Amino acid sequence: MSAYHPLNETEAIEIARKLEGVFQPDAKLACREIGDGNLNLVFHIADPAAQSSIILKQALPYAKVVGESWPLTLDRARIESEALILEGSLAPGLVPNVYLYDPELALTIMEDLSDHVIMRQGLINGTRYPLFAGHISTFLARTLFFTSDLGRNQQEKKLLARSFANPELCKITEDLIFDDPYRDADTNSFDESIRDEAQALWNDGELHLEVALLREKFLTHGQALLHGDLHTGSIFITPESTKVIDPEFAYFGPMGFDIGAVLGNLLLNYAAREGLDDADAEREDYRAYLLNSVTDIWSQFEAKFLALWNESGVDRMANSAPGYKENYMRRLLQDAIGFAGCKMVRRVVGLAHVADIDKLEDAAARERAQRLALRIGKSLIKLNRRVVSIDQLTDAVHSASAA
Ligand code: SR1
Ligand code: MG
């Protein structure tokens, strides 16, 4: 019989106590369940006297955001711990250390990052993170390059891809990002005040063509091992440090999906500032910071990815075919912009929203933010295949903001 059951706080403490080299045997441990995500239990376990602490994360056999009616594989705990370990080896210092993975209880014990904040909340508070573009572009360039056919032996890559098949978590993304927002799906959730916007999404054939092409890439283009859910709620941050968490959606997919997730979530915060009572100049200044971050992330990613390719590329044809690198990087940019748009649309009309917009108390302001996020998202989706420069993203955001 399986030993799996959802843990309570006392059981979580007992498991943590057995971890070698972390807590003293007689330590008085305190435990709180702090999970505020859509899927898992997260226990914070600490010995306040010794100032030591860990995080114990346990997968539930269903999607917490919906309830037991939506069963979900426990194997995602294995995917998450293996992805964290691999990412940590490729991008040292940019993910939490993993101390233990227990397959029976579907749990991972990892480094506590309580001295960091969830980036989404940091952005909502108006904090600036000057090192973030450098950190996340390194994370993206190194994890994507070294798990792709450009940077890893192609037979080894195929074998690695087997253990990251992740069909159930991919299905969530296929439905919630690339299908449901574009039809009158039961899972959709949006304020009645923007029903006209939702209906416009359901009836926009030009948009559907672009989303279908991006969906096809997500389904078929196993370019590299993705984090798979790289929104600002999957990033712990301080002004000095960035740690990427929660890669339970990891699978081999199109690189632009991870890059677009980061860009799209910064732009969701940009749209949400429509609803903040910041003085206009302050708001526009923060928006400029967000847009600069977006362009910096792309520019630094491009430079770092190309440097890795020039130094460590393993594929003779890809290394030497004239024009291939330029063509590859252009396609990555186009994909990133298209996926960024999809990420924005789903967070306004789909099942799972973002606090940046949802927590705006003033209904009129929230509606303005939602409409702006949709204008930006739709315009990025429609633009994606014509993009040759990141400046086109900035122009599209400015036009959508002025409309
Ligand atoms: C049912 S899960 C809803 C969303 O939460 C996760 O963070 C993913 O973004 C997923 O789409
Ligand atoms: Mg998550």
**What CATH number did the domain enclosing 172 receive?**
3.90.1200.10
1 in any annotated domain = no
Say yes or no to pLDDT of 35 above 90.
Answer: no
Same domain? For 262 and 372 the reply is yes
Residues 103, 199 within the same domain: no
> 118: part of which helix (H) or strand (E)?
strand 117-118
pLDDT value for 67: 87
Do 20 and 67 reside in the same domain of the chain?
yes
Last residue of a domain, one of 65, 94, 111: 111
Q: Are residues 98 and 135 in the same domain?
A: no
* C-beta of residue 136 within 8 angstroms of C-beta of residue 242: yes
Annotated binding site for substrate: 229, 346
- For residue 198, pLDDT beyond 70: yes
pTM over cut 0.90: yes
Kindly indicate the confidence band of residue 249, based on its pLDDT and cuts at 50, 70 and 90.
very high
CB proximity list for 369: less than 8 A, separation 6 or greater: 271, 272, 273, 274, 275, 357, 360
**What's the 147 CA to ligand 1 centre distance in angstroms?**
24
Same structural domain, 191 and 148: yes
Domain count, the chain: 2
Residues 223 and 363 in one domain: yes
Same domain, residue pair 237 and 168: yes
Kindly give the number of the ligand 1 atom that is closest to the alpha carbon of 177.
Answer: 11
290 neighbors 393 (Cβ within 8 angstroms): no
Across the range 16-41, mean pLDDT stands at 91
pLDDT greater than 90 at residue 280:
no
Domain end among 111, 137, 172: 111
**Can you tell me whether residue 42 is helix, strand or coil?**
strand
pLDDT tens by residue, 317-347:
999 999 999 999 999 999 999 999 999 999 9
Binding-site sequence positions: 40, 57, 111-113, 229, 246-248, 346
Q: What is the average per-residue pLDDT within 63-85?
A: 93
Q: What is the mean pLDDT of residues 53-77?
A: 93
Confidence bin at 2 (pLDDT 50/70/90): confident
Q: What is the CATH number of the domain that holds 50?
A: 3.30.200.20
Q: Which of 55, 85, 111 is the last residue of a domain?
A: 111
**pLDDT at residue 66, rounded to an integer:** 85
Same domain, 151 and 231: yes
User: Rounded to the nearest 5°, which phi and psi values hold at 46?
Assistant: -140, 150
Q: 288-295, long-range: CB within 8 Å, 24+ apart, which pairs? A: 289/128, 290/123, 290/266, 291/394, 291/397, 293/129, 293/132, 293/133, 293/266, 294/263, 294/266, 294/267, 294/390, 294/393, 294/394, 295/390, 295/391, 295/393, 295/394
H-type helices in 237-323, by residue range? Answer: 255-272, 280-312, 316-320
Residue 4 within a domain: no
- From the list 213, 242, 247, the residue with the least C-alpha distance to 229 is 247
**Would you say 187 and 352 are in contact if contact means Cβ atoms under 8 Å apart?**
no
Q: pLDDT tens, 355-392?
A: 999 999 999 999 999 999 999 999 999 999 999 999 99
| Per-residue pLDDT tens digits for 103-139 | 999 999 999 999 999 999 999 999 999 999 999 999 9
Measured from the CA of 176, which atom of ligand 1 is nearest? 11
403: pLDDT strictly greater than 90: no
Split at pLDDT 50, 70, 90, the class of 39 is confident
Q: What is the pLDDT of residue 65?
A: 84
Structure tokens at 182: 């574009």
Q: What separation in Å is there between the alpha carbon of 345 and the centre of ligand 1?
A: 14
Ligand at minimal distance from the CA of 35 is 2
Neighbours of 402 (CB within 10 A): 7
Same domain assignment for residues 107 and 22? yes
**Residue 381 Cα, ligand 1 centroid: separation in angstroms?**
20
Residues 259 and 342 in one domain: yes
| pLDDT above 80 (res 275) | no
Residue 1, pLDDT > 70, answer: no
Spatial separation of the C-alpha atoms in residues 399 and 243, rounded to whole Å: 33
CA distance 182 to 338: 15
pLDDT tier at 37, thresholds 50, 70, 90:
confident
Q: Which domain holds residue 361?
A: 117-402
Spatial separation of the C-alpha atoms in residues 403 and 388, rounded to whole Å: 23
Percent above pLDDT 70 for the chain: 100
